[in-house]
Amino acid sequence: MVKDAGLKKDILENGWAILNRNGREALRMRELAKLSDCSVGTVYNLYENLNEIILRLNVRCLDQMYGVLRQEMRKEIECGSDLHEVFHKMGRAYISFGLRHPKLWRSLFESVPIDPMPEWYKEKAQNGLFIIEAAVQKKFGLSEGKANQLVNFFWAAMHGMTSILINRKMEALNESATESFVTSYIDHCLRGFIQ
């Protein structure tokens, strides 16, 4: 059992290296088995299929991404920043995470081929947003509904912009223009929700 736990961890570590370097499309059971010094059958004995491995790796991506967002949020709250500034910094952190780790971001958000998603995964994905909602609700005296609406709208807006930037859908933006564009975009989104 201890050996299995160590091998499961090795498989995920090797998967993480592949995901970071080459993206989700490069993940293959044979390659994971080879790198983990075991047979393909052994990998299937430890994990249901490649989709389970992808989801387990995506949980690690979520942990990193939510960690960055929570750190930025805490820092701004501790500095006494207003709601607009807290969300502005979290928006920049979200976009920066996606641009720094495009292969991880794509693995999380672009065509995960699993339907329905397992409950354990949905809970993990939603919990990160709930923590942010609860913190801004408490700090800024927002109702639960308003905090939920603000976080979900803002998440969708930042997600859309990150997708556009990662997939280079706005060719007219050069690197220096991107910075000012992102700042303006975040501010515009926030104006509609933070009065």
Q: What's the CATH code of the domain at 129?
A: 1.10.357.10
Domain count, the chain: 2
Q: Where are the alpha helices (DSSP H) in the chain?
A: 2-22, 29-35, 40-46, 50-78, 83-100, 102-109, 119-140, 144-166, 175-193
Radius of gyration of the chain (CA): 19
d(CA 99, CA 167): 10
User: Would you say 112 and 122 are in contact if contact means Cβ atoms under 8 Å apart?
Assistant: no
Are both 105 and 153 inside the same structural domain? yes
Host domain of residue 151: 56-193
Residue-level pLDDT, tens digit, the chain, 195 residues: 446 788 999 999 999 999 999 999 999 999 999 999 999 999 999 999 999 999 999 999 999 999 999 999 999 999 999 999 999 999 999 999 999 999 999 999 886 667 788 999 999 989 999 999 999 999 999 999 999 999 999 999 899 889 888 887 655 555 555 677 778 888 887 887 776
Are both 119 and 176 inside the same structural domain? yes
Does the pTM surpass 0.85? The reply is yes
The answer to whether the Cα torsion of 79, 80, 83, 85 is positive or negative is negative
Q: What's the CATH code of the domain at 28?
A: 1.10.10
Measured in whole angstroms, the distance separating CA 37 from the mean position of its chain's CA atoms is: 30
d(CA 33, CA 42): 8
